[in-house]
Structure 1
Amino acid sequence: MATVYALFVGIDDYPAGRWPRLSGCLNDIEAGHRWLMERLGAPPSVRALTDRTATIAAVTAAVTGHLGQAGPGDTALLWFSGHGTEYAAVTPQERLVEATGRCQALVCADGPLPDKRLGALLDAVAARGAHVLAVLDCCYSGGATRDPDGEPDAVARYAPPLPEWTREPAPAPPAAPVARDTAGPAAPRHVLLAGSRLDQRAYERDFAGRRHGVFTRALLGALRAAPPAATYREVLAAANARVQRDERRQHPVLAPAEPGGPADGPVLGGLVRPPAPHLLRYGTDGWEVDCGGAHGLREGTDTAGATAFMVTGDATLTGHDATPTGRGVTGTGGGVTGTGGGPVVRARRVQALRTLVTPDGWHPDRTRAYPVAPSSLALPPLAVRLEGPDAAVVAAALATAGPGGGASPLLHTGAAARPDGLRRVVTGGGEARVLRRDGTPVVAALPLTGPADARRVARCLVHLARWHQLHALDNPASPLAGLVRVEVSPWTPGRYAPALTPDAAGELVLHYAGRPGAWHRPEVAIRVHNHGPRPLWAVLVDLTDSHAAHTGLYEGHFIGPHGTAHVFDGDPVELSLPPTRPERPGAEVRDWFKLIVAEGELNTAPFRLPPWDPHADARDAPSGPPVDGVLHLAGAGGGGSGGTGGARDTGPSRRPAPGQWWTTTVPVRTVVPRPSGRGT
């Protein structure tokens, strides 16, 4: 039977005159021990070192001897509450491993135990197959204390270094190599829950008449509120929010934090599961999601309400999460299930690193952190600069080009407009020319002799904005990045041809064969490979230089782990010039194959857009991205990817759900060669 080996170290009574006395550390380890007994079905094997017994040698021996008994399937827990410290790195080895030039250490009863040394001891236990967790409530613990310069009742766990710690020691004889906690990704690692960053102090204070570390109290509260399968990442997010409400100068740390590693496993060990895209927690300014402008969201409040997040399906909700009306969730004491995929929170302000949100019709538990994923995003508008004598006429038309007769959210003509994809509209001489930043035309010049023509110009700009949003769609920081790839190769009946490689401009260039009057259009095979370990959903959007978009190549299906999808079931894909362009030497057409990958089905309606046609009836509403400028990442209804419900030819319909998503683009240029054979 698996055993939990626990070592609790708490030091209040430091030697007088050397370091300040503390008052909450023994309370911390007592409370931690009590939580551990509540959590486990079988009694753990526990050892405690307190006050003067917690020397460097005793702690080291207890880690190697007591925790070192843990084997495969067991768990080893170290919980330290006491002083921490930092001091200048003096030895060559210290300078090598300490990028800040300073060492961090736990302060035992008789001196410092460097965090790098402790990390190596814990990783040695992990190397024997045990799951290892370290909880450190001391200053500088994110690299591995508490401080008397804080609030009146707040004391930092910080011990000033002694002079002998920073003297260059005499050369020592060579020692046997010791494993370091900077080992490669395949090495076993311990999980660290630290009370503060490596450059911060950690505090203790009174809570209802009893002294505790701010981090310990927050962590134990988060552990007790979390569901049994909660991951370290989810628990620390909730604990961090609690710490911020008590002590803004202190920020807890989780390590190692890479997605899909031990941080995404359950507390005290278990199977690692795919990480939640983002986490919802209650912070100092109310509910917030750890996603912001740095992750690709539009900052500010003007379009914040269009950004929403949904609680993902693997979250365990209770009746405490429901509203009295049950809107958005159901259940009054048992499990809570979201309608249409999960309860939703809507953004009220997007900041650089977080988004302040408001729950939509439900009351989350403030003591918990919830895994969430984007369910709708406000897309960036297209920046437009109006120039020339008739600019005011076009501006008037744009003011009524949006939903309900208002301004279109897809366009921004103000001084703060983002330069991405900037379009200049130059008026004069009875026409309007829509130009790129470099002055080249985007579409043919449009007549501009009155309000009707101005409305056509406005309609053109809205259409271009829709297309540009799809072309610019990106999520480079996604954990799904690179798991699915598009491969384009010449089509050869009955055999596999190597994939084409892009030219110096990053494009795949395909050439017509033959000669004028007897041209042969290029044919290719397109394959979509899932290199990941689980099924992923993918759609291939073809964006053309006529400002059209369609999903006819690959309309959206799940691809199995390490599986391959063949566009048109392996039949050739013919690439050719559109009928409006004669197939003559030098003619060309551009396509952008945009692959969109997600954990669940997306609504593909936003990925369809007809070519720009200046003669189309303005009253016709072409299909395409929503006119409100919002990309909905969860399909409507609950049926197929088009959001219309019902089954698809790939099998039973699946309920669309938000989650991780990623996109990549393959530029393709199809060229009719010149007589010399050159493609340009």
Structure 2
Amino acid sequence: MPTLRALLVGIDAYPPPVPPLGGCVNDVLEMEATLRGRVPADALDLLVLTDAAATRAAVVTAIEEHLGAAGPDDVALLCYSGHGSQQAAPPEAWPQEPDRLGETIVLVDSRSPGSWDLADRELAALLRPVTSRAAHLLVVLDCCHSGDGTRDVSRTTRIRLAPSDPRPRPWATFLPGAGPAAYGIGHKPGTGHVLLAACRSSETAKETLLDGRPRGALSAVLGRALRESDGQPTYRDVHRFVAARIRELVPEQHPQLETSDAGDLDRTFLGGTICPRPRQLTLAHSADGWSIDVGAVHGVPEPTGEDTTELAVHALDGATDAVPLATAEVCRVLPDRALVRLVPDLDPARVYRAVVTSIPLPPLRIGVVGEVSAALALDSADQTLITFVDAAAGADVLVRAERDGFEVLRPRLPRPVVGVFTGPDRGPRTITALERVARWLRLSALRNPATQLAPDAVTVQLTGTTGSVSIDGCLEITYAAELAPAFSVALRNTTSVPLWCALVDLTEAYGVFTDAFPAGSVGLGPGEAIQVALTGQLSDELWRAGTTSVTDHLKVITSTLEFDPRTLEQPELATTAGDLAAVRSLSRPRSTLDRPLAGVTTRRLHRSSGEHPVADWRTSDLYVITHRPR
């Protein structure tokens, strides 16, 4: 991994006549904490200059020596949080400065006798050698560089614009390389050099209150982007995120992403020095109330009656194994976010971490064909699992009333789910079979639409006995005479955090098996892998009845915390309507993932008490088709 050489400069304590600020030191200290949390210690070389230490001489030396030491494999980062201003441009620079003013950043001693602001052309001259030596350079300027300082400042918003320096400045006071022909930092940066500026040249950079502390809008939102990112976004992705969030915080501020090479926009942010990790789901307050930052385009389902997506809410940087600060329920799903009800209410100035604890699982729609008799015992069904609808209304499963009993079918499938249930107890046994099918179909479709785990957090590879490897998540294997074919499933944790995985087998006969691992799920450390040897099976009973291929749906469940999938197990439905064994009861929960898993079995559960650690989780689907020729 390349080394990230970072210089962070933040100034609040400006001496008069420059007005002081309140959030610049907060900005760089949070950026320092964020970088230390996301970049390995041996790949980070960090220098922080705040207040009295951030003199013109110190900043110039730090750029030359600290950032200048970056090698061809390193990434350089300069973050400045403080006042921006302007100064009278020398006449020779007027062709480049139509308003005859040059942009500057204001250092702590800039307005002292004999000292000057750091002009944009000086900053460009200092960074030119860094750009030529390092693999990549990012400059973040959270300050004003506009002459328009006339906007009103509200009680909670401050503008980072110092008064212009009226002193005529001779060329002799500029740094070498910043003469009349030099371009400013905002003009023609070199290849591999990206500038993220807080605002347009006609706007001002704002400082506002967040989490009860003054912060620069750009710095706060950029820090959030780094904390929530999985480490693989491009500069274009980060700019899109930052621009959208700043619009929610302050008016009339549009961050700018500048580069001379359009290809730099699609570079990985900070050259990939940010380690991947699961992104956080956040909850924040806006004009229309509390909302989470995922919505319909992410797959968040609309509430189903009183059943809806539920979340536990924690401090943004807090652990999720404690009692949550609040719980939230989704009440309306918008395209890019979802509005929630919060109990109890929280500080609307803060941003919080949210983790899904339950998702709505609509009941299976059962259509009845033929005369319905009281023997079907409709009232005995678990209404959270199945509901009865008109057979022509798009039912998921059909029950055909025969002369002596009931037959269960699924539309568009070639054979019945199970044979005809007959006898005096045919009604209850039919209901039990329907509930089994409902559990199976719910589990088959189970996914977490609000997951922050990357799709490749755990990679999965299917391999057959002949060495054939699944490319699209589907593997076909074939019996060799009477010998059932073997295959293997390999799981690898690609993240930097421990993850737990379960492999659930959903068979065509509506069985659910979780015995791939002795404890149901297995823990994988960062980079760790495990391989499971399995066998494809097509029963003699089905084969003699004419079936020559079956499909096993293998569902991989990945979680940030340990969980127990064995509550999902149920035996297969036989081709004949014999006795139906009971389904395993709910075992002791280990994390909040156990609750949505239990919801596959029934929704007759109490609401989450918040006493269990909160897991983030996702599912992925594999299919193994086993052929047994006649």
User: Deviation per CA, 1:487-528, whole angstroms, max 9, x where unpaired?
Assistant: 34355xxxxx7353369xx632222213xxxx2222334432
Alignment of 1:5 onto 2:4? no
Q: Which moved more, 1:609-618 or 1:33-42?
A: 33-42
User: What runs of 5+ residues in structure 1 fail to find an aligned partner?
Assistant: 9-25, 49-62, 84-105, 140-144, 158-174, 182-188, 205-212, 266-270, 318-328, 330-336, 492-496, 637-654, 675-680
**How many angstroms apart in 1 are the aligned matches of 2:353 and 2:271?**
14
For residue 559 of structure 1, report the CA deviation from its aligned partner.
1.8
Aligned mate of 2:317, from 308, 315, 318: 315
Secondary structure, counterpart of 2:555 in structure 1: strand
**How many angstroms apart in 2 are the aligned matches of 1:577 and 1:668?**
12
Aligned mate of 2:322, from 318, 321, 338: 338
2:384 corresponds to = 408
2:436 corresponds to = 463
For residue 444 of structure 1, report the CA deviation from its aligned partner.
2.9
Aligned mate of 2:329, from 329, 333, 347: 347
| One-letter identity of the residue aligned with 2:549 | E
- How has the CA–CA distance of structure 1 residues 578 and 444 changed in structure 2, closer, same or farther, with 3 Å as cutoff? same
For residue 461 of structure 1, report the CA deviation from its aligned partner.
2.7
Aligned mate of 1:500, from 440, 464, 469: 469
| One-letter identity of the residue aligned with 1:501 | S
User: Deviation per CA, 1:2-21, whole angstroms, max 9, x where unpaired?
Assistant: 8533599xxxxxxxxxxxxx
For residue 547 of structure 1, report the CA deviation from its aligned partner.
0.5
Cα pair 2:208 2:215 within 8 Å, conserved: no
Aligned mate of 2:294, from 265, 284, 291: 291
1:673 corresponds to = 629
**How many angstroms apart in 1 are the aligned matches of 2:253 and 2:497?**
38
- How has the CA–CA distance of structure 1 residues 658 and 376 changed in structure 2, closer, same or farther, with 3 Å as cutoff? same
Cα pair 1:540 1:594 within 8 Å, conserved: yes
| One-letter identity of the residue aligned with 2:322 | G
Aligned mate of 1:481, from 444, 455, 478: 455
2:484 corresponds to = 521
Secondary structure, counterpart of 2:417 in structure 1: coil
| One-letter identity of the residue aligned with 1:356 | L
Residues 84-163 of structure 1: matches in 2 within 5 Å? 127=134, 132-135=139-142
Alignment of 1:178 onto 2:139? no
**How many angstroms apart in 2 are the aligned matches of 1:659 and 1:121?**
47
- How has the CA–CA distance of structure 1 residues 603 and 194 changed in structure 2, closer, same or farther, with 3 Å as cutoff? farther
**How many angstroms apart in 2 are the aligned matches of 1:523 and 1:536?**
27
Cα pair 1:276 1:373 within 8 Å, conserved: no
1:599 corresponds to = 560
**How many angstroms apart in 2 are the aligned matches of 1:521 and 1:37?**
62
- How has the CA–CA distance of structure 1 residues 119 and 376 changed in structure 2, closer, same or farther, with 3 Å as cutoff? farther
**How many angstroms apart in 1 are the aligned matches of 2:226 and 2:389?**
41
| One-letter identity of the residue aligned with 1:43 | D
Cα pair 1:541 1:593 within 8 Å, conserved: yes
| One-letter identity of the residue aligned with 2:282 | L
1:23 corresponds to = none
For residue 598 of structure 1, report the CA deviation from its aligned partner.
1.9
For residue 301 of structure 1, report the CA deviation from its aligned partner.
6.2
- How has the CA–CA distance of structure 1 residues 574 and 244 changed in structure 2, closer, same or farther, with 3 Å as cutoff? closer
1:634 corresponds to = 593
1:232 corresponds to = 224
Alignment of 1:511 onto 2:478? yes
- How has the CA–CA distance of structure 1 residues 130 and 242 changed in structure 2, closer, same or farther, with 3 Å as cutoff? closer
For residue 310 of structure 1, report the CA deviation from its aligned partner.
4.8
- How has the CA–CA distance of structure 1 residues 131 and 233 changed in structure 2, closer, same or farther, with 3 Å as cutoff? same
User: Deviation per CA, 1:291-335, whole angstroms, max 9, x where unpaired?
Assistant: 3333233213624555223538x8248xxxxxxxxxxx9xxxxxx
For residue 665 of structure 1, report the CA deviation from its aligned partner.
1.9
Alignment of 1:386 onto 2:394? no
Alignment of 1:216 onto 2:207? yes
**How many angstroms apart in 1 are the aligned matches of 2:371 and 2:82?**
72
Cα pair 2:311 2:354 within 8 Å, conserved: no
Alignment of 1:664 onto 2:627? no
- How has the CA–CA distance of structure 1 residues 478 and 604 changed in structure 2, closer, same or farther, with 3 Å as cutoff? same
Cα pair 1:241 1:284 within 8 Å, conserved: no
Secondary structure, counterpart of 1:664 in structure 2: strand
Cα pair 1:222 1:367 within 8 Å, conserved: no
Aligned length: 497
Q: Which moved more, 1:466-475 or 1:522-531?
A: 522-531
- How has the CA–CA distance of structure 1 residues 429 and 617 changed in structure 2, closer, same or farther, with 3 Å as cutoff? closer
| One-letter identity of the residue aligned with 1:290 | D
Alignment of 1:612 onto 2:588? no
- How has the CA–CA distance of structure 1 residues 38 and 624 changed in structure 2, closer, same or farther, with 3 Å as cutoff? closer
User: Deviation per CA, 1:197-227, whole angstroms, max 9, x where unpaired?
Assistant: x9xx98x9xxxxxxxx7x532469565699x
User: What runs of 5+ residues in structure 2 fail to find an aligned partner?
Assistant: 13-17, 31-47, 71-75, 87-96, 105-120, 161-186, 229-240, 259-263, 596-610
1:377 corresponds to = 359
Cα pair 2:303 2:331 within 8 Å, conserved: yes
| One-letter identity of the residue aligned with 2:436 | H
| One-letter identity of the residue aligned with 1:179 | T
**How many angstroms apart in 1 are the aligned matches of 2:125 and 2:421?**
74
Alignment of 1:559 onto 2:555? no
| One-letter identity of the residue aligned with 2:396 | L
- How has the CA–CA distance of structure 1 residues 35 and 566 changed in structure 2, closer, same or farther, with 3 Å as cutoff? closer
2:282 corresponds to = 279
**How many angstroms apart in 2 are the aligned matches of 1:281 and 1:37?**
23
After TM superposition, the score normalised by the length of structure 1 is: 0.56
| One-letter identity of the residue aligned with 2:512 | A
2:89 corresponds to = none
**How many angstroms apart in 1 are the aligned matches of 2:504 and 2:280?**
24
Cα pair 2:366 2:387 within 8 Å, conserved: no
Cα pair 1:137 1:216 within 8 Å, conserved: no
Cα pair 1:589 1:670 within 8 Å, conserved: yes
Alignment of 1:574 onto 2:535? yes
For residue 542 of structure 1, report the CA deviation from its aligned partner.
0.9
Give me the identity figure in percent. 21
- How has the CA–CA distance of structure 1 residues 110 and 129 changed in structure 2, closer, same or farther, with 3 Å as cutoff? same
**How many angstroms apart in 2 are the aligned matches of 1:401 and 1:507?**
35
- How has the CA–CA distance of structure 1 residues 631 and 530 changed in structure 2, closer, same or farther, with 3 Å as cutoff? closer
**How many angstroms apart in 2 are the aligned matches of 1:556 and 1:37?**
41
| One-letter identity of the residue aligned with 2:534 | V
**How many angstroms apart in 2 are the aligned matches of 1:435 and 1:397?**
18
Secondary structure, counterpart of 2:317 in structure 1: coil
Cα pair 1:276 1:371 within 8 Å, conserved: no
Alignment of 1:357 onto 2:305? no
Cα pair 1:634 1:656 within 8 Å, conserved: no
Cα pair 2:11 2:25 within 8 Å, conserved: no
User: Deviation per CA, 1:420-459, whole angstroms, max 9, x where unpaired?
Assistant: x933445565655544443644513545899x64544443
Alignment of 1:366 onto 2:348? yes
Secondary structure, counterpart of 1:378 in structure 2: coil
- How has the CA–CA distance of structure 1 residues 414 and 176 changed in structure 2, closer, same or farther, with 3 Å as cutoff? same
**How many angstroms apart in 1 are the aligned matches of 2:124 and 2:433?**
61
For residue 672 of structure 1, report the CA deviation from its aligned partner.
1.6
Cα pair 1:308 1:375 within 8 Å, conserved: yes
Cα pair 2:11 2:51 within 8 Å, conserved: no
Superposed CA RMSD:
6.0
